[in-house]
Amino acid sequence: ETGVTQSPTHLIKTRGQQVTLRCSSQSGHNTVSWYQQALGQGPQFIFQYYREEENGRGNFPPRFSGLQFPNYSSELNVNALELDDSALYLCASSPGSSGKGGTQYFGPGTRLTVL
Amino acid sequence: QKEVEQDPGPLSVPEGAIVSLNCTYSNSAFQYFMWYRQYSRKGPELLMYTYSSGNKEDGRFTAQVDKSSKYISLFIRDSQPSDSATYLCAMMRNQGGKLIFGQGTELSVKP
């Protein structure tokens, strides 16, 4: 069974640029959640996708957007990057038949640095 | 006030010690409680998952939830240097919903 994978591992961008981060969910999981973890802080919920539809969103501006594909992999897009967007971006997948699948399993994260 | 409060530490203990990690929370709607371990520059790894109040044991780890006090704990017995990591408490209202995390406690177990 393959766990959650994320790409790329590291990324350096400059202010104002756009970035796309990718996540492959664990086999059998149809729900994907994205979190932002600033240095020294706990992860903050960005949004969740269930069967290609957004299923909840945290307190993040609209320049944070996402997609989920038929194979349940997912993308996080961030437009107009700001310095404060520098963080570890975590993807978590969970199983479920109704978007309420329970335990979330995390990938290794993508470390984004904005200069 | 944050929904979930966790002492960031750092916490340093000798090998073999019993470690106690704690979180308090303000929202009585939380029903599911988790502890994750995160090694430096890695993703969080699920350690313990508990529904409602009570105790759960798994090897050297014991999780306790006291919903009446809005307080959860993780105990690590016979701590090992390999336990050195950041420990994150997390909770959610509904199964499969968003996780609300504490700040994380950095633990160092010295040989």
Interface of B with A (CB under 8 A): 4, 6, 8, 32, 34, 36, 41-46, 49, 88, 90, 94-104
Residue of chain B with shortest Cα separation from A107: B43
| pLDDT at B4 > cutoff 90 | yes
Q: pLDDT per residue over A25-70, tens digit each?
A: 988 888 999 999 999 999 999 999 988 999 899 999 999 999 999 9
Arithmetic mean of pLDDT, B82-106: 92
Q: How far is A80 from chain B (nearest CA, A)?
A: 25
CB neighbour burial string for A50-67, b if at least 16 within 10 angstroms, e if fewer: beeeebbebebeeebbbe
Q: Is the pLDDT of residue B6 over 60?
A: yes
With an 8 Å Cβ cutoff, the interface of chain A facing chain B consists of: 4, 6, 31, 33, 35, 40-45, 48, 56, 58, 88, 90, 92, 94, 96, 98-109, 111
